[in-house]
Structures are given as C-alpha cells and as structure tokens.
Amino acid sequence: MSTNASDVYAVIRSGGKQYRVSPGQRIKLERLDGDAGDSITFDNVLLVNGGGEVAVGTPTVEAASVTGEIVEQGRARKVTVFKYKNKTRYRRLRGHRQLQTSVLVQEVSLGDQTWTASD
C-alpha cells in the first residue's frame, strides 16, 4: 500500500481498556498469555484509519485485525495503597504491582489491505 504507515492507526480493546496503536509502536497492555517472541492477534478492533478511509465498527470492525509480537512479560511500577482513619490509630500500607505485557505492533489489516511498520 502506498500510504505511509505512520498515518495508519487502529483502536483496539484489550484488558477492558482501549488503545490507539500504529505499526511499529510498542505498547504495554494488561497481562496476556504467551512468551517473549510469540505472535499475537487482536480481533477486537474498534476503528481503523488507513489509506484515507476510516472504518468504524459497531462495536467492532469485522474484517480488521492487528498483529503484534510479545516483547516481554513484566510488572508495572509499584502503586502504594495507604488507608488511614484519623483519631483511631488505623493505618494500613500496602503495595501492588500489576502484571503487564509489552507488545510490538507489526501490522494493521483491514480486509485485503495491510499496513506494516516497514511501509
């Protein structure tokens, strides 16, 4: 396709959140099954903008998919949870680190059109 890959993007849904992704972009998502180097396909595509066309799903675009590669599995930064009630000597300090997966987006497909990072 003659369209520049930097102009192409898709909105996907993963882990209850929505992400705007482009080919060549690295994103961090909620934990996904798989090891580093595994390929992953997102079929929950809500919108695709490519080649001057915008395809909006109701709720998803049927012929669209986003393919990526799992770069690493890890954990996010620590979030401190502190509970406090005044005048009662009640204090609780806890921490939480969310599991996350880093994914390198390789291509966005819509029907017979495919955009990759090298375009």
Q: What is the pLDDT of residue 51?
A: 76
Helix (H, G, I), strand (E, B) or coil at 5: helix
Q: What is the pLDDT of residue 5?
A: 56
Q: What is the pLDDT of residue 2?
A: 45
* Joined tokens for residue 118: 């090298």
Q: What is the pLDDT of residue 105?
A: 96
d(CA 53, CA 24): 20
Sign of the CA dihedral running 63, 108, 21, 106: positive
Q: What is the pLDDT of residue 85?
A: 97
* Counts for the chain of helices (H) and strands (E), in that order: 0, 11
Strands 53-56 and 9-14: unpaired
d(CA 67, CA 96): 30
Average pLDDT of adjacent 10-residue blocks, the chain of 119 residues = 68 94 95 94 93 87 94 96 97 97 95 84
Furthest-apart CA pair in the chain: how many Å? 67
Q: What is the pLDDT of residue 39?
A: 96
Q: Are 12 and 19 in contact (CB under 8 A)?
A: yes
pTM here is 0.82
